[in-house]
Structures are given as C-alpha cells and as structure tokens.
C-alpha cells in the first residue's frame, strides 16, 4: 500500500490505494544489498495495523467478487449476443436441443474472424430463419464449443483472511511505499 510521509494510507476517489501486484511489492521490498541497515520506528509499526486492515478488506472484496459465477463469465462480442437473441426469439423451427446448444455456443468468446463471419450472417438480406441458419453454419464451421461454466471460489468470511507477511519499505527518495 502506498503511504504518505507520515505512513498514512493514500486515498484516491474516496478509496484506499492497494497494490496487489506481487511483483511490484517484491521490487519495492528488494534491499538491493544484503548489508542494508534495517530500520523501523514506532510510528511505522503502529500504522501497519491500519494498513493491514485495509489490505485485508481489499483481499476479502476481491475474493468475494470471484465467488459469483456472473462475475467470471466472459462477455461475448456484440455480434454473438445479437445472434443469441435472434436464435432465442426466432429459432423455434430448430429442435429445442439444437436451439439451446446454438445459444450456448454463442456464449463463447470467438476469434475476430469468427465474430466477423457471424456479424455478416446477421446482416444478410433475408428472413430470420435464413440468418439463423447462416449463423449456425458459421458456428459449426468454426468448431465452436459451448464454454464450460466458470468455477467460482468458495465463499470465505472476512475473519478467514490472514496476514502472512508484511514489510514497511522506506523509499529511496524519502517517499514511502
């Protein structure tokens, strides 16, 4: 967590800044030489508990976000969403099994080439049936598969987030991190 000169956590837009990038933290904590003198004072030690609470809350919120499958589902391109809606609304001429399978495959995140092909199929002059058959043909030609549902993380309580290690690092230019 970046902090100011008095070791107060920095806020931006009303939220504390928490850098959860491990590589950035490791680079900041690198003493560069093994003989670097260690330094700590009571002010830093006292502020560490507030920083830990903020970091814990951030880790908990990030984990909680990953427990909801809706947050883990990648967003299909607009052409695929439009095609899925068309198949849902006008695809009753297909068997329900084929219709649902096609809708499932349209939840994939395809290559740009396949996305363009589906967009072209949707813009054909013709009936909805012809457009759906063209979309189906493009999806099958591309070999798209229905994506597996995402596996969310197990929910945890805030009390289950544990401090493993912490380190206060005094910056070289008297800026603290």
**5-22: pLDDT as tens digits:** 888 999 999 999 998 888
141 contact partners, CB below 8 Å, separation of at least 6: 117
Q: What is the mean pLDDT of the chain?
A: 90
For 146-161, write each residue's pLDDT tens digit: 998 889 999 999 999 9
Nearest-angstrom CA–CA distance, 96 and 147: 19
pTM of the full structure: 0.66
Helix (H) or strand (E) holding 16: strand 15-16
Mean pLDDT of 40-67: 90
pLDDT value for 171: 66
For 125-154, write each residue's pLDDT tens digit: 999 999 999 999 999 999 999 998 889 999
Nearest-angstrom CA–CA distance, 150 and 169: 38
Write the Ramachandran bin of 157: left for phi over 0, alpha for psi from -120 to 50, otherwise beta.
beta
pLDDT at 175 over 70: no
Nearest-angstrom CA–CA distance, 28 and 156: 29
pLDDT at 56 over 50: yes
Q: Number of helices (H) and strands (E), helices first, in the chain?
A: 7, 2
């Amino acid at each position: 967590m970046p902090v100011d000169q008095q070791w107060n956590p920095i806020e931006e837009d009303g939220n504390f800044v928490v850098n959860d990038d491990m590589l950035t933290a490791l680079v900041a904590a690198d003493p560069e030489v093994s003989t670097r003198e260690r330094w700590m004072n009571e002010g830093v030690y006292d502020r560490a508990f507030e920083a830990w609470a903020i970091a814990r809350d951030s880790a908990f919120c990030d984990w909680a976000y990953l427990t909801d499958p809706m947050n883990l589902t990648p967003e299909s391109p607009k052409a695929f969403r439009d095609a899925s809606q068309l198949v849902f609304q006008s695809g009753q001429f297909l068997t329900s099994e084929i219709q649902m399978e096609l809708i499932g495959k349209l939840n994939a995140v395809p290559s740009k080439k396949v996305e363009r092909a589906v967009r072209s199929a949707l813009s054909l002059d013709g009936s909805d049936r012809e457009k759906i058959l063209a979309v189906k043909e493009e999806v099958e030609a591309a070999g798209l598969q229905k994506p597996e549902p995402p596996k969310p993380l197990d929910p945890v309580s805030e009390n289950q987030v544990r401090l493993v290690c912490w380190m206060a690092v005094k910056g070289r230019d008297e800026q603290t991190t």
